Amino acid sequence: MDCKDSVSVLTIQNAILKYKRSIELKRKDCEQLTRKNLKVEYKVNGLEQLLSETKEMKSQLEHQKVEWERELYSLRLTLKQEKEKRRSAEILYINIKEQLRSKEELSEVSQS
């Protein structure tokens, strides 16, 4: 029985060693997965921060675009008004020139 007992003890010891190795491998795998998980979490946090900054920049750019569109509209309106003023001034100039020419012609006819 001694021999059988030794074999049983060795079998149990082998089983325990295999179990301990299995536990150690699973612990190492768990540690590795935990490190990978932390890296992914850091990356996600970084990407979330980048997304937040990008959204803020987009909002600022959209606001700037609206401001520039208002300014462009105002400048176009001012240009249109200036063109109308110039056209009116040109018409007034032509009318005054015609009046002066008419007065000159009348003055010449009167003097003759």
Range list of β-strands (E), the chain: none
Distance (Å, rounded) from C-alpha 34 to C-alpha 27? 10
What average pLDDT does the chain have? 94
pTM above 0.85, yes or no: no
Distance (Å, rounded) from C-alpha 76 to C-alpha 89? 20
Whether the per-residue pLDDT at 86 is higher than 90: the answer is yes
Tokens 């008419």 sit at which residue? 102
pLDDT tens sequence across 14-59 = 999 999 999 999 999 999 999 999 999 999 999 999 999 999 999 9
Instruction: Report pLDDT for 4.
Output: 72
Distance (Å, rounded) from C-alpha 10 to C-alpha 17? 10
